[in-house]
């Protein structure tokens, strides 16, 4: 198992570097940061996929995790983590815990991760998995991601792991001045854009499109924020 995991991890990291080289004209960088690549190398992706898909755990593509949700392509996990520009003393909000894989990567890059998952079954599995694997600086709740987690705001970074039809205002409000929000925006089965919203020290925001992506839709538990579907 160890040999298989190590070889799979090496191939995954090589695929990430190849994707960065291929998309560098869009993402504006030749390499991802060393802390991000180290974090990617330390999180065992095979622990975050269903048992029948473990053989494909380190492939550079998304995989289903049940309930209509997926674990994202490793390159996209690495890129979104990199775009946050995190420091070890910072606090991050993740919208869409899913399997907990992105959560685990973030936990190695910052001080604390707060994560919100709308599907109760996925939230329960992620809590138990992250606890079993020893990720102790992570706090999870089951809730509506469109509303964020205001009790612990503001956040140095916010990451959304499913596509919203627009950028939720609540997330912008919960972003700390100087912070960054990374979010895929667009409708299902149509073009989506990975966006970065940077908030300056005065509270003004600047939005940048990074590249085209394909994510499952961000589920709105209340039905109040699903305009555009």
* Residue 177, both tokens: 């001045």
CATH class of domain segment(s) 2-213: alpha beta
The C-alpha torsion from 20 through 21 and 22 to 24, rounded to 10°, is: 70
Prediction pTM value: 0.93
Of 143, 189, 149, 144, the residue nearest 165 (C-alpha): 189
Active site residue 72: yes
Both tokens of 157, joined, read 């970074």
DSSP structural state of residue 32: -
By the 10 Å C-beta count (0-12 exposed, 13-18 middle, 19+ buried), 183 is classed as buried
pLDDT of residue 227: 46
pLDDT at 187: 86
Tokens matching residue 21: 């080289």
In this prediction, residue 29 carries a pLDDT of 92
Asked whether 120 and 142 are in contact (CB, 8 A), the reply is: yes
Sequence ranges of the domains in the chain: 2-213
DSSP secondary structure string, 128-185?
A: HHHHHHT-TTEEEEES-GGG--GGG--EEEEEE-SBBSS--HHHHHTEEEEEEEEEEE
> What per-residue confidence (pLDDT) applies to 220?
85
pLDDT for 3 = 53
Tokens of residue 120, six digits: 């109760």
Element housing 212 (H / E): strand 205-213
* Whole-angstrom distance, CA of residue 72 vs CA of residue 26: 19
Residue of 4, 7, 41, 72 marked active site: 72
pLDDT by residue for the chain (229 residues), tens digit each? 555 888 999 999 999 999 999 999 999 999 999 999 999 999 999 999 999 999 999 999 999 999 989 999 999 999 999 999 999 999 999 999 999 999 999 999 999 999 999 999 999 999 999 999 999 999 999 999 999 999 999 999 999 999 999 999 999 999 999 999 999 999 877 789 999 999 999 999 999 999 999 899 998 877 654 544 3
């Amino acid at each position: 198992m160890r040999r298989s995991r190590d070889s799979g991890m090496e191939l995954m990291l090589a695929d990430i570097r190849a994707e960065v080289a291929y998309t560098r004209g869009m993402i504006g960088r030749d390499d991802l940061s060393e802390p991000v690549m180290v974090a990617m190398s330390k999180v065992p992706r095979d622990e975050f996929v269903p048992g029948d898909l473990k053989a494909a755990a380190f492939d550079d593509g998304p995989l289903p995790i049940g309930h209509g949700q997926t674990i994202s392509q490793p390159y996209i996990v690495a890129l979104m983590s990199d775009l946050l520009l995190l420091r070890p003393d910072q606090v991050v909000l993740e919208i869409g815990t899913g399997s907990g894989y992105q959560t685990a990567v973030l936990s190695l890059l910052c001080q604390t991760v707060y994560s919100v998952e709308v599907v109760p079954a996925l939230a329960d599995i992620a809590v138990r998995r992250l606890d079993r694997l020893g990720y102790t600086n992570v706090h999870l709740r089951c809730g509506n991601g469109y509303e964020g987690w205001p009790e612990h705001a503001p956040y140095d970074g916010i990451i959304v792991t499913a596509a919203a039809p627009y950028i939720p205002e609540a997330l912008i409000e919960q972003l700390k001045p100087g912070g960054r929000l990374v979010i895929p925006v667009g409708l299902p089965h149509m073009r989506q854009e990975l966006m970065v919203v940077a908030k300056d020290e005065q509270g003004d925001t600047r939005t940048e499109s990074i590249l085209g992506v394909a994510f499952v839709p961000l589920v709105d538990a209340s039905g109040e924020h699903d305009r555009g579907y």
